[in-house]
Amino acid sequence: MDPQKRPRQDDEIDLSLGPLKARVTLFGATVLSFSIKDREVLFVSKKAVLDRTKPIRGGIPIVFPQFGAGNGDLPSHGFARTSRWSVVSEAPAHVVLALTWQDDLSSKVWKYPFRLEYTIELSPNAGGSLVTSLRIMNLGLVGEEPFDFQCLQHTYLAVPDISKLTARGLTSPFINQLAKGEVQKLDSDALKVDREVDWIFFGNPEKPQEDVVVSLGDGANVHVTRSFAIASKHTACDVVAWNPWIEKSKKMADFDDEEYKNMICIEPGNVSRKDVIRGGEDAVLTQILSVSHI
């Protein structure tokens, strides 16, 4: 499915900057498309549900305030990806969206006063890139009312052929979520996908910006640059690598049986742990996607 070729829905925003194009929906603040010279960088399943009744399978959904299965009243991966966001500002090449604790269902399942601001911007840097920056603010009393959280940009990358893909820059060891959270190491300096992958790679607090370079096998490389800061201090930014492979693909109603061959998730965030911000503080998770040799 090519989001750029189907009619734009009322809650969607198109961005453009020369050969760069993007499409964003207010439902979940999900980036549906990012293309350079008409080459689509993001994957969206052709079976993705687009009636705003469930999370969108593909693009860049937002995970907040928790990663993984529901905890209490919180749904799996939190509520940000299924809430309707509002527009703060808009220009041809960028948009700023917001979600607060008073919006939508968030006040019913999350008792802490917060505000999320999400800046989505097309940039001419690095030959053309998509910059997505999520700011998480604790609106409680300054220095008080802390809350802990996890956040993630759940980025789905389009892949011509998964058997030819390699990804470098993933720091080993990692948490293997398919082996009861066992900590393991990669066999080489490059990730190759020939089975189901659901791994959390630890970020390095000594490297405020880290790159994962995904070689797609057809001469194109996707560079995923990530950073994470709390109260203006850079800290470790984890990254999740995910591909459902054959059996799990067959169990997902919003994912075609064969689509595992054409996608890989490389997802920056804080998911190996929970971080805390106090009243008046914020955290900022930034991702930069760029493509070389296209």
d(CA 265, CA 270): 15
**Mean pLDDT over residues 11-30, rounded?**
97
Mark whether 267 is an active-site residue: yes
**Mean pLDDT over residues 172-182, rounded?**
93
- pTM of full prediction above 0.75: yes
Question: pLDDT at position 185, please?
Answer: 93
d(CA 5, CA 138): 39
**Mean pLDDT over residues 137-145, rounded?**
93
For residue 109, the one-letter residue type is: V
Beta bridge partners of 42: 157
Exposure of 227 in the CB half-sphere (CA atoms within 13 A): 16
What 3-state DSSP class applies to 151? strand
Any idea which architecture 12-292 has in CATH? Answer: Distorted Sandwich (2.70)
Mark whether 154 is an active-site residue: yes
Of these residues, 121, 154, 210, 259, which one is catalytic?
A: 154
d(CA 4, CA 35): 9
Exposure of 255 in the CB half-sphere (CA atoms within 13 A): 23
pLDDT in tens, 201-253: 999 888 878 899 999 999 999 999 999 999 999 999 999 999 999 999 999 99
